[in-house]
Each structure stands twice: as C-alpha cells, then as structure tokens.
A and B are shown apart, each in its own frame.
Chain A
Amino acid sequence: MKTSIPHIASNTFREAVRDRVLYNLIAFALLLSGAAILVGQISIEIEKLVVINLGLTAVSLFGVVIAIFIGIGLVSKEIEKRTLYTVLSRPVRRWEFIIGKFFGLAGTLTVNTFFMAIGVFAALFYVSHRFVRADALIFVALYFIILEFLIVCSLSLLFSSFSSPLLSAVFAFSLFVIGSFSDDLRNFAGMAHGVSRWLATGAAYLVPNFSAFNVITSIAHEQPVAGQLILQNTLYALFYAAMVLSGAVLIFEHRDLK
C-alpha cells in the first residue's frame, strides 16, 4: 500500500533543518566544552560525574525544548497559514499527516541527539582520556531520553491539533514538569485521603511517568540498569505515544480547517 507518511516525515525534517533547529548543537557544544574545561582541575572521578550528569541532562532538556517548540506548531501553524489545503486535497489521509509529522519530529530529535551524544562522549574522553565498560550505560540513558522525546513529541502534536501554539506550549511544558515529578505525585497520592487521593492517583497515572526514564544520576555512578526497566520503559513509551497520537488523530480527523 502506498502511503504519504515517509514524504511528510522527511519534509518535516527538512523544515526543521532549514529553520536552523540544529543550531542548538552549537550552544550545546559550547556548554559542554565550557563545563569540561571548568571542571578539568578537579579529580578524574568527579569530572566524569559532572560531565555525564550535565551532558545527559542537557541532551534531555535541549531535546524537550525543541520537541515542544517544533511540535506545537506542526499542525496549528499549517492550519493557520493554510499550507494544509494543498496537502489534504491530495491523496493524503489526515491520520497519515499526523503520523508523518510525528516521525519527522522524532527523526529530527534522534539526529539531534546523535550529534549531542558524540559531544558527550568527546567531553568524557577529554576528561578521563579513556573509555571504560561502564560508559556503555550512557547508551541506555540516551535511549531512555529518546523514548521520553517520543512522548513529548506526541503530546505537543496532540495540543497542536486543537489549540494555539501558545496554549499548546503551556500545556506541554506543564505536563513535562509534572511528568518529571510523577514519582512525587504518586507518593503524595499514597499519603492523601478522600477526594485529593482520587485526584492525585488519577493525575499520577495520566501524566507521563518521566521519572522512570531518568537514570542519569544512577548511571553517572556506574550503577547498572535492570533489563526489565528497559523493556518496561520501551513498552510504556510506545503505548503512551500511540495513545496520545490516536487522540490527536481523532481530534484532527473531524476538524474543520480554518
């Protein structure tokens, strides 16, 4: 079966590249090399800790910001500028458009993360002059970060399919922050009573569980990641993103274009 998804995805990627999104890599490189040089005076163990912690946190934050800022415009901007008219009047189904946009954005972030990862490893090599086996754990952390991006991308797209970029940004950032503290939310739900317990439990299970994706601190301390967590996070991210995308498709399928 012929589908437009790859064409839409690659055009989305091209747009991001031409809008100079990848320029963020320069800021990232500056940040990382600055940090590496600054901590260069301290003992090797601490240096590594700082570089991994700071490097991976930056990879995650830069990516989330990009995912939200591109994602929130992906649908609403095309409706606003009416670029969609000449796309949807072709043999392109609306769900293909959403899914294509998702893959385009996810692809952009993956490429971006790939370059950042090179930066992290380079900084690591700069401070410790060699790689050890435990450094392979960084790949797991990067993988989790990408899984996290998939969820953020899907959420931005969902908001973009029914609200303005500004509101979408607010929604997406709020969800990201709440999701990052979802562990605390769950703890709170466990302690609360009555209605607030209900609400907190509902919220805790509805918001994306980003806490589970954050293994940066533990791998910086060379603690291994359980295989089960990898599997669990993979399934969770795919399921969550798929659900959110279905919602986006459902909304967009029935929407009048301006």
Chain B
Amino acid sequence: MSPELVMPSIEILGLEKTYQVGFWRRRPKQALRPLHLQVEDGEIFGFLGPNGAGKTTTLKLLMGLIFPTSGSARILGREWTDPGVKAQIGFLPEQPYFYDYLTAQELLEYYGQLSGVPGKQRRHRIGQVLHQVGLRDVQGLQLRKFSKGMLQRVGIGQAILHDPKLVFFDEPMSGLDPMGRREVRDLMEQLKHEGKTVFFSTHILSDAEALCDRVAIIHKGEVLRVGAVDDLTSSVRGKVEVIWQGTQIPASIKALGAECHVTAEMVRAILDEKQQDAAIDALRRDRLRLISVTPVRTSLETYFVEKLRHAETSAGSIAGGV
C-alpha cells in the first residue's frame, strides 16, 4: 500500500481553546480541552455531543476561523493552516447564513470562483449541485427570501461545490424536516460512496447511529470515547437474547441470572454474553429447541446518556474530593 492510502484525513493534535469571557473581569473559559483525534480516509465520522460540548469550537478551529490556545492539526496530510488545504475541503457552518442580496446561483458562482474552480467546470458543477440539494427551481431567487431549511440546503451545496475530498458539516440535519434529514443522510452516504471523508457534528444520536463508521463522544470540551458505533454500544452491556421453543425454563439458565419472558409458545431470555455458551448447553441438555441467539445492542442514545451521566458524577466526585 502506498503511504498516501493510509494517510488519515484529519489528525487533531491536542487542539485546545480557552475563551476569555466577561467584559470587566475577564476570566478564562475552557471550551475545548486538549483534543486528540484521528479521522481515517473515506469514513463518515460523527462528532457527537450535547449543546455546548465544544463541537462548533472544534470545527471553527479546524477551519481557521478562530485560533487555538495551543495544539495543532493536520488535514489531508498537511498543516491545517496551509492555504492549499482549503481548496480540498468543504465546510457547512451551523445555521448557515449567506449574502442575502445574491441568488443561490450567484452565491455558488462566487464561491466557485473563491475556491478556484475554472469557469466552464464551475457552471457545470453549479447546475449539478443545485439539482443535488433540490434548489434548481429557486436558483434565481434572492437568498433573503429563503427559509431556514432552504439555507441549510444552500449551505450543503456550497460545501460540496468544488468537489472537496473532505467535508465538515456542523449540525447538518438541524432545521430540516424529516424528508430533508433523510436527503442529507443519503447525500452523506453518497459522498462516502464517492470516496470522500465526512466529518459531521450532531447532538441527534439517531442521525449518527444510522450513518457513522465511527463516532467521538464529546462532553464539556472533552472527548469521552471514540469508536465504531457497534463497539461503543455493544461493549457497554454485552448482553444476548436467547429464544427457544416451549414454555419451559431450565433451572440452570435461571441460575445464570437470566431475565426470562415467557410467551405463548416461546421463551425469551436476556443474559450476559459470557453466559451464552452455558445457556445453549443447558438448552441442549434439556432438549429444548433453540430459535435464535442475538446480541442485544444498547442504542447509542442509551449509551450516550449513560456515558454523560458517568462523566457528570465523576467530575462531581473530583470536584468534591478537592
């Protein structure tokens, strides 16, 4: 494999941001603890956290819109401040707003120029993108007449206009109706399919769960966990659901601490993954017909809430211990 193929798309090397807040008595507010994160080429990466966690701060740092207190990053193998990087990335800000005296078509034309897309290709791409984000019919309308959802579409359009290798979306689904969310999800999958890397932030877990190869969970400026959605969720509980025919529950299975539900003609037992083999053996001994064994996955939602509650209490205990 050539080294280029294994190069990560984003490497965040201890980026940290402390704001000075307060007008008269300035005091520091740490919005982002030193953040280390690596996003691989071609993945959809979810940056997950509640409001105020530091997601937007991270994205603004990466875009060079604000400056870090310390730390650095590499994007597409280059220093993140390298102007050459910017031609290859796309950015959708949170609740985007644009020059409202321009039409959608004009805005994309302008942004295409700024991104250095050559004239003929630009016109072609603008048509394509307007179609892709469903704004073909209103391309000649001034943006001041656009609704929030339409502006979000313009925002996505401008982010992918110059065919970037890597896109950053800040809360891409917010302000959209269910149809719109669905379309954005499809679009992100499409981008991945085209070999692009997608890094997006969200506080809506179901969006991340359905889409992401990996997620990072951020809370109060600190990344709590990074991993594949599957790993994160199944590792918490590690439970399996065993279903067999009949209404009989072998004593040995009860002894394993299984939680059993009996219905008309079958039994559902939830137990620890580690006990799975023992349970199957027990069923075999009693000649019961096994129907299925499936891992029970906690939804990301449950995981998230649990993780955050844990973070809260441990932070509390640290504060209490001082």
- Which residues of A does B touch, CB under 8 Å? 2, 4, 7-8, 11, 14-15, 18-19, 81-93, 254, 256-257
How far does the Cβ of B103 sit from chain A's closest Cβ, in whole Å? 11
Chain B residues whose CB sits within 8 angstroms of the CB of A82 once the complex forms: 93, 96-97
Query: B257 interface residue, CB < 8 Å from A?
Result: no
Chain B 189-231, CB-CB to A under 8 Å as 1, else 0, gives: 0000000000000000000000000000000000000000000
> Given the complex of chains A and B, what is the CA–CA distance between A254 and B67 in angstroms?
8
B114:A85 contact, CB within 8 angstroms: no
Report yes or no: B98 in contact with A89, Cβ–Cβ below 8 A. no
Q: A15-B99, A82-B97, A83-B98 are in contact. Are A89 and B113 (CB under 8 A)?
A: no
Decide: B93 and A90 in contact? CB cutoff 8 A: no
Size class of the contact patch on chain B: 20 to 34
Quick check: which of B57-65, B262-270, B296-304 contacts chain A, the rest being far away?
A: B57-65
Given contacts A85-B63, A91-B83, A93-B83, contact A18 B101 (CB under 8 A): yes
Q: How far is the CA of A11 from the CA of B86 in the complex (A)?
A: 20
Q: Is the CB of A14 within 8 A of B96?
A: no
Closest Cβ neighbor of A6 among chain B residues: B113
Which residues in A have their C-beta under 8 angstroms from that of B115?
90-91
A-B contact count (CB 8 A): 71
Assess the B101–A85 pair: CB atoms within 8 A: no
Jot down 25 A-B pairs with beta carbons below 8 A, ordered by A: A7-B113, A11-B99, A11-B110, A19-B101, A81-B97, A82-B93, A84-B65, A85-B91, A85-B96, A86-B93, A86-B155, A86-B159, A88-B64, A89-B63, A89-B86, A89-B89, A90-B87, A90-B114, A90-B162, A91-B116, A92-B86, A93-B83, A256-B65, A256-B66, A257-B65
Q: How far is the CA of A11 from the CA of B103 in the complex (A)?
A: 12
Tell whether B111 is near chain A: CB-to-CB under 8 Å.
yes
Contacts of B84 in A (CB 8 A): 91
Q: Which residues of A are found within 8 Å of B111, using beta-carbon distances?
A: 86-87, 90
Is B158 part of the contact surface with A, judged by Cβ < 8 Å?
A: yes
- A4 to B, closest residue via Cβ: B114
CA distance A82 to B99 in the complex (A): 10
Neighbouring B residues of A90 by C-beta, 8 Å: 86-87, 111, 114-115, 162
In the complex, A84 Cα to B83 Cα: how many Å? 16
Tell me the complex Cα distance, A86–B162, Å. Answer: 13
Q: Is the CB of B97 within 8 A of A91?
A: no
